[in-house]
Structure 1
Amino acid sequence: MTTLITNQLKKLSMSHVRLLDPVEGEKLFRLIEQKPSSTDKIAPAVSAQMKGEVGILRVKSFLIPQITRVAVEQAKAQLSNAKVILLDLRGNGGGAGSSISYLIEDLIGPDKVLWTDRTRDGLAIKQPYIFQGYFDDAINAQAEAEIKLSNEKPYTQWRTRSQAKKDPRPHFVLVDDRCGSSCDLFAAAAQEYGVKLLGVRTMGALYGGEAFKLRWQGFALIAPTIQVASPKGNTIEGVGVQPDIEIPECKSSGKNCLEKAIEVVAADAT
């Protein structure tokens, strides 16, 4: 039944709309509420490695608790000797929008618009509420706080902190056709502030989605509730983000994608 309904929902050609079965639904809400069970395997979403003078920061997800500010800072510390940084976002299906600020401050600096979002109630509001900074994931309340803000402020402009410090080293962002939601957003924001994007066009799945518990125990519905626009006001939903330097090998999880990207980045480092 879940598969049948989900297949029908796909015909809407709209992102963030899906029915979850009891196993998926209960696991999702445990992650949202940060109460994973002993059987939930939460793999670290952030890792770092060096390839010559290129520091590669791999980010598989922006979903908390898979990604935290502490984990990001620990990974970044391993790349202190790198001359150029490659952010590898291949396969990143997104997560909490505000969690992208853990990384993007390094690329674009202080007091920069990250995105604007509007709910249906916000369509009649002319000036957005400005939120600057990000939630502290250490208090185990980021997801709830982000939803609460969207409910209280139906038209919001999100910005980096005024005290943010931009990393002076060159940065590149590697994306593929599985980069969606807040990964789409990260790619768009980075590119619009002059950071070079490598790979292939992103997924283009940038409606803000919310999970709803249904009457049937464990079942959940993910549905879009928020319109999201890039820093320059561009619509990414259904469009995606086109890279500055296309690497065909990155399509459909192709081989040699990372190797090709490292070649481009290494050339810049020299």
Structure 2
Amino acid sequence: MVTCFFVSIRSFDVRRLRSADVAALAQAMCDTATIILDLRLNGGGSGSAVVELASLFLPPQTPVLQIRTRQWQMQQEPFIIHTLPEEANLDHALEVELLRQHHWVEYRTKSRNMPIGSDKHGVVLIDKQCYSNGEIFVRCMQEYTSAAIVGNKTAGYVVAADEHDIGKGYKITVPFAEMLSGQGTQLEGVGVQPDIEADFGDLNEEQIIDNLYEMNVLRR
């Protein structure tokens, strides 16, 4: 069995993290004792991609993300999303359409058994350049698993917003909905605090693993 499996997740953009990619990760993770997920520099992306990855680690039907517009209180309960057609959701198009239609949506893990099991030791690396749905994924791992969250506090930029070009090279970002963790935690302006503070700088994968052993996050 491989001792550590280290993977960098730089984005939850549907174009870059497809269900086939997550399935390949699941296969690779099966034969390892420890999984290290590097969410540093993660720019965010789609809630559906967060669900794909979170479904490897969390039980079926686990809430991982809520998004609500100003009209959300008109709804008695959220519209539940487990998975979306990837081609229809490029650039979050389908997610935005469903949100504008229902005003309150909740993303939950897929109705399937965790393919890699729950017996793995997990570590999630974070930094101040982990944004948006990257932060949501980190928080759901913190809320529902025993994974150690290691690094620096995330950016705290967790809001659904439209970007408008106003000319002369300037753009403005206008929020249209709030994003909460599966358990309803507000991350906008707050970020995710690590369980263990650490700064890995420009260390490579092997050096980071050595540091995690020295910090007793990993044990030989």
- TM class by shorter chain equals 0.7 to 0.9
Aligned residues: 212
The gaps in structure 2 that reach 5 residues or longer are none
Partner of residue 19, structure 1 = none
Is 1:238 aligned to residue 177 of structure 2?
no
Partner of residue 226, structure 1 = 177
Whichever residue aligns with residue 141 of structure 1, its letter is N
Task: Give the CA deviation at 1:238.
Answer: 0.7
Whichever residue aligns with residue 21 of structure 2, its letter is A
Deviations 1:120-143 (A, max 9, x none): 222x33533231412132x34342
TM-score of the superposed pair, with normalisation by structure 2 = 0.84
Secondary structure at 2:175 match in 1? strand
Secondary structure at 2:29 match in 1? coil
TM-score of the superposed pair, with normalisation by structure 1 = 0.69
Deviations 1:169-211 (A, max 9, x none): 2222111111110011111111011332111111111011234
CA gap of 1:158–1:140, structure 2 versus 1, over 3 A, is closer
Deviations 1:224-259 (A, max 9, x none): 211011122211011111111221x24xx4546733
User: How many angstroms apart in 2 are the aligned matches of 1:75 and 1:210?
Assistant: 32
Task: Give the CA deviation at 1:110.
Answer: 0.7
Is 1:84 aligned to residue 61 of structure 2?
no
Q: Which piece of structure 1 moves more, 82-91 or 192-201? A: 192-201
1:191 to 142, 153, 157: 142
Give percent identity, aligned residues only.
26
Q: How does 1:26-105 map to 2 (within 5 A)?
A: 53-105=3-55
The gaps in structure 1 that reach 5 residues or longer are 1-49
Is 1:208 aligned to residue 160 of structure 2?
yes
Runs of 4+ in structure 1 displaced over 4 angstroms? 218-221, 262-265
- Decide which structure has greater strand share: 2
Secondary structure at 2:178 match in 1? strand
1:130 to 79, 84, 95: 79
- Decide which structure has greater helix share: 1
Whichever residue aligns with residue 162 of structure 2, its letter is E
Secondary structure at 1:141 match in 2? helix
CA gap of 1:261–1:209, structure 2 versus 1, over 3 A, is farther
